[in-house]
């Protein structure tokens, strides 16, 4: 069975959460969602599966045991240290002026943005849709 770890530094308006739920519901992929935080500075909270906090063995185990990482927007030091033989897909939601997108592009095996004209133009990448469960909306 393929193991996938979805990683996001921020909740990204729950886009990684929606992808996580859909993969769990509609595929046989063993998937984990790992966030650095589950809330924004303004206090908005979002659902999460695992948090990347000190001594969270479950989050590190999910990263270490995964065949593929789907990383959203930011490359973090934890990912650089943890990477072994995993393939990495990077997906960019924000605009290139935010974050360390160039480092993540260099780290990833494949790069995409979201299917939005502005992001596709700014990054010069193919867009992927944000996945949602049609039964929920």
Rounded distance between C-alpha atoms, residue 36 and residue 6, angstroms: 11
The model's pLDDT over 54-79, given as tens digits with 9 standing for 90+, comes to 777 899 999 999 999 999 999 999 99
What does the domain layout of the chain look like in residue ranges? 3-128
Q: Give per-residue pLDDT as tens, 29-61.
A: 999 999 998 888 899 999 999 999 877 789 999
Q: Give 16-46 as a 3 state SS string.
A: HHHHHHHHHHHCCCEEEEEECCCECCCCCEC
- pTM for the full predicted model: 0.92
Spatial contact of 47 and 16, defined as CB atoms under 8 Å apart: no
Residue 113: CA atoms inside 13 Å, Cβ hemisphere, count?
Answer: 18
What span, in angstroms and rounded, lies between the C-alpha atoms of 99 and 122? 14
In this structure, are residues 72 and 12 in contact, taking their beta carbons and an 8 Å threshold? yes
Beta-carbon neighbour count of residue 48 at 10 Å? Answer: 19
Give the mean model confidence (pLDDT) for residues 98-121. Answer: 93
**Domain 3-128 homologous superfamily, CATH:** Glycogen Phosphorylase B; (3.40.50.2000)
Contacts 24+ apart (CB under 8 A), 22-27: 22/131, 22/132, 22/133, 23/131, 25/133, 26/133
């Amino acid at each position: 069975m393929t193991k996938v770890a979805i990683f996001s530094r921020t909740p990204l308006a729950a886009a990684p959460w929606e992808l996580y739920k859909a993969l769990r519901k509609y595929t046989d992929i063993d998937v984990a969602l790992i966030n650095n935080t589950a809330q924004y500075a303004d206090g908005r909270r979002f659902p999460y599966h695992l948090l990347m906090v000190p001594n969270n063995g479950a989050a590190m185990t999910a990263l270490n045991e995964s065949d593929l990482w789907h990383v959203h927007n930011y490359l973090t030091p934890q990912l650089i240290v943890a990477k072994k033989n995993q393939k990495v897909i990077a997906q960019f939601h924000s605009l290139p002026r935010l974050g360390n997108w160039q480092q993540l592009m260099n780290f990833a095996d494949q790069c995409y943005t979201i299917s939005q004209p502005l992001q596709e133009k700014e990054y010069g990448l193919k867009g992927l849709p944000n996945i949602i469960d049609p039964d929920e909306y």
